Structure 1
Amino acid sequence: MTERFFVSMEYENEPIPGLPGRLPPGETILWQGTPDWRGVARGVFHTRLVTVWFLIVAGFAFVSGGTGVVGALTTLAVALLGLAVLAVLARAQAKSTIYTLTNKRVVLRFGVALPKCVNVPLSLVGKADVKPAGAGMVDVSLTPTVRFPLAYLQMWPHVRPWKFGSPQPMLRSVPENFVPQLAEALAKADPARAAANTDADPAPAMVGAAA
């Protein structure tokens, strides 16, 4: 049977957390986890840039002589409130997300209000790009060998930034030790890739740095 992407947007229960159904015979879970919410806050909601922007505004208010200290303190208070809201959103995104790696596929279950499961067969992944996400975490984007069926906004925020025309599923802020497990699974899922890496580390399946 030809492998394909599969999206489940409506299901009442999870017989296995993060999966809409039980695993078929011969498939096993290799890794399962959730994003680190602090990495989501930095990578998705850009809390560092927001912080810098508010500090600049507060500094300008202080030295301009108009509102002075009062203006600067007011700006900082608004900044703290805004960052708290972003932290809540990041926690909600992380809590509602489970990534699962099996010997056959990667499954992304996410969505705060409308949960969905996206099935990405390893045989349809051409390569994976890794980008550091801080604190021992990385973002891993998967480049499909065929057109991905979901639009960018349908996958957000679990999608590589700026790839609007050709969306690439992205696992946000996962531990670095996930990378070699994914690389090995990718090599074993593709006979040609496995043959190419017989005498080498499977890491060549992971290349570059995600944008």
Structure 2
Amino acid sequence: MHQDDFNFEPVRGLPEDLPKDEQILWQGSPNALRLAKDAWALNWVIGYFVFLTIWRVGVSSADVPFTTALLHGVPFVLAGIVVTLLIYVIAMVQARSTVYTLTNKRVCMRIGAALTMTLNLPYVCIGNAQVAARSNGMGTITLELIGDTRLSYLMTWPHVRPWHMRRTQPALRAIPEVAKVATIFAEAAETRVSQPQVTRTKSFDLGADGIAAE
């Protein structure tokens, strides 16, 4: 029987119900294979084991027949397959446990496989966003935070811009149709930021003697 690991969520990807004036504009998750390539350098890992295999066969062929030298490369091929599958499984688990949400007020990121956490990033706390799109339509949206908002690089990895540790930049990574999502984000952020921010303060009345009283 299928069991939802996040069935405690009142709304998928969110820790609580949305206020009446807030609505979901888009939800999505990373593509597992693309996440494995971008966050775990899967292509480089495969290339590394291919290099080791070729090197081992080349070295062995100097001392033994070529058919025997090919057998010497088999352990490296098997090791490469095991490591590749392990990386893909890790990326798949991370992708499955991740939900990115755009509302008309904020960006929400439910991340973490073993230790789940939800990041709530209001548009007013986002100073800029960068989009990196690929030819297949997948890509990453990186968010630059402003003000005193600080995030832990290690706690939010791999949902961050790589190597930006001093000022962590959260990122919606390996998402399909990234150009469409970026448009939704831009329109929602522009609308939200352009709205006046009203702050409630105490009001005072001046008495007949000119002394302020609450």
Highest RCO, 1 vs 2 (Cα 8 Å, sep ≥ 6):
1
Greater gyration radius: 2
TM-score, normalised by the number of residues in structure 1: 0.82
Q: What letter matches 1:16 in structure 2?
A: V
- What whole-Å deviation, never above 9, does each CA across 1:75-127 have from its counterpart, x for those lacking one? 01110111001110010000000000000000000111110000000111111
Name the residue aligned to 1:164.
165
Q: Number of paired residues?
A: 182
Question: Helix, strand or coil: the match of 2:143?
Answer: strand
**SS across alignment from 1:129:** strand
CA contact (8 A) 1:133 1:173 kept: no
Preserved contact between residue 148 and residue 166 of structure 1 (Cα < 8 Å) = no
Q: How far off its partner does 1:135 sit?
A: 3.0
Match of 1:142 in 2: 143
Structure 1 unpaired stretches of 5+: 1-10, 193-211
CA distance in 1, matches of 2:120, 2:181: 18
Residues 107 and 119 of structure 1 are in contact (CA less than 8 Å); yes or no, is this contact kept in structure 2?
A: yes
Length-normalised TM-score, structure 2: 0.81
Q: Aligned to 1:80, what secondary structure does the other structure show?
A: helix
Contact 1:39 1:133 in 2 (8 A): no
Letter in 2 for 1:75: F
Structure 1 vs Structure 2 CA RMSD: 1.7
SS of the residue aligned with 1:14? Answer: coil
Distance 2:145 2:160 in 1: 12
Give the counterpart of 1:34 among 29, 36, 42. 29
Write the distance in 2 (CA, Å) between the matches of 1:79 and 1:92. 20
In structure 1, what is the Cα distance between the partners aligned to 2:35 and 2:135?
11
Matched, 1:122 2:117: no
Q: Does 1:186 align with 2:181?
A: no
- The secondary structure found in structure 2 opposite 1:190 is helix
Q: Look up the match of 1:50.
A: 45
Where do residues 84-99 of structure 1 align in structure 2 (5 Å cutoff)? Answer: 84-99=85-100
Aligned ranges 1:62-73 → 2 under 5 Å: 62-65=57-60, 68-73=69-74
What is the 5 A alignment of 1:2-21? 13-21=8-16
Q: Distance in 1 between matches of 2:79 and 2:72?
A: 11
Aligned residue identity for 2:133: P
| Aligned counterparts of 1:108 and 1:19: Cα–Cα separation in 2 | 8
Amino acid at match of 2:37: R
Runs in 1 of length 4+ with deviation above 4 angstroms? Answer: none
Q: Which runs of 5+ in 2 are unaligned?
A: 1-5, 196-214
Measured after TM superposition, the shift of residue 134 of structure 1 is 5.9
Displacement after TM superposition at 1:131 (Å): 1.4
Question: Does the alignment pair 1:100 with 2:95?
Answer: no
Contact residue 14 and residue 20 of structure 1 kept, 8 A = yes
8 Å CA contact retained: 2:150, 2:167: no
